[in-house]
Amino acid sequence: MKPTTDHWAPASWRLEMPVRRFEASRGTNETYLGGIQGESARMGRMGLTFRAAHDKITPFHRATMPEGVARACFNEPHFAPIAGLAEAIAAEIPHLNEYGSRAEQTSRNIARAHGTDPERVLLGSGSMDLIRALVGSVCEPGDEVVVSWRSFEGYVDACHAYAAEPVRVPTTADGSHDVDALLAAITARTRILLLASPNNPSGKALTRDQLARLIAEVPSRVVLALDEAYSEFASSPRAGFVAPMERDLMKTPENVVVLRTLSKGAALAGLRVGYLLADARVVQAVAKMRTQNGVDRLAVAAAEHCFSPDGLAQIEDRVEWIKAERQRIERTLRDRMERAEIDGKPFIDIVHSDGNFVWLPVGERADELRDHLIETARVNPRAYPGEGVRYTVIEEPRNDAFIDAVAEWATR
């Protein structure tokens, strides 16, 4: 008998489960559940408890978007799917009843794009899925994970999920990683040094010299985990990366792990797919802590298409547009601030970012600027109270409105 959209099991297959009875001490019959509840009440109810780390994990709440205001707070590219993506996903729909996916072919495509072997690639449900799995693979309760701060909040939550201790090392004044301080923070309990490069929200990338130093000086027993989610947007000539797109993966020791996502350049944030690049032994270890078949076949099909030659070419075009547009925004704001300074008006510093976003380190005025941008430019950036405002590069007319609103606010 073929399954249908209705309940298709024949009546002969259905089991009527008898209601079990519980003989309560009071001598009356109650249903099993009711009897247990009654017994619990007489014995004194014990409240359900959770691990101590549970309360340290930040609950996820989707930001509320004011009506008619553009989202510029999530670092999502505002692009439609690349050509051919819908067809690649649709081809997998007839197989949704089956476990598995085209993960092996996708891993081969990713490996080819990075000039490495498929055995060094591990897919995950977003790069954060893999970061959590990495922490779970190497950290016992109480072990330490060193991170730069401010950076992506998810790193801290990943530590707490496995009762590891996040050690926050302040970034430098301009939001760059303080390599001296990071290396000095490594102790006998440290298992991971986890960094985003470019950093989020400052947009500062490790320089080639800083990257080389970290690779050379982080002890071999400590994982150097580099989240290169925004690396394709980098334009700084000194920036250095282990896994740039369509170039050979840098030769590194076994303890170096790179995390990447398809949420940014490939614009697949809604499908949740990322990947890890590491030594094959590390890939096998982290895979044990990742949910098996955790990346659904539609997301895998999308990733396979994105890493086809045609998909990579389309994504590169979009990334280049975002890079150029970010530089235009920063350059235009910098020119307007210079004019304000010449005219004796107030102004703010315009810093360089290597992400798909602009970072304005306005300190205690962050909430004020965000509110001004919502009201005046009808864009909603992310405010980091006491630190600054991060604005995602979106459509050009929206970016123009952002430029005008920031310039008006900063120079008044």
Q: Give me the pLDDT at residue 44, please.
A: 57
Q: How far apart are CA 189 and CA 183, in angstroms?
A: 13
Query: For the packed helices 396-410 and 309-342, what is the interaxial angle rounded to 10 degrees?
Result: 20
Q: How far apart are CA 219 and CA 211, in angstroms?
A: 14
Per residue in 298-323, pLDDT (tens digit) is 999 999 999 999 999 999 999 999 99
What the chain holds in terms of domains, given with CATH numbers, is: 19-43 (no CATH), 70-76+313-410 (3.90.1150.10), 85-309 (3.40.640.10)
**Which H or E run includes 334?**
helix 309-342
Neighbours of 110 (CB within 10 A): 24
- Averaged over 142-155, what is the pLDDT? 97
- Averaged over 240-254, what is the pLDDT? 91
Per residue in 353-412, pLDDT (tens digit) is 999 999 999 999 999 999 999 999 999 999 999 999 999 999 999 999 999 999 999 999
Per residue in 72-100, pLDDT (tens digit) is 999 999 999 999 999 999 999 999 999 99
DSSP state of 275: E
The chain-wide mean pLDDT, for the chain, equals 90
Whole-prediction pTM value?
0.88
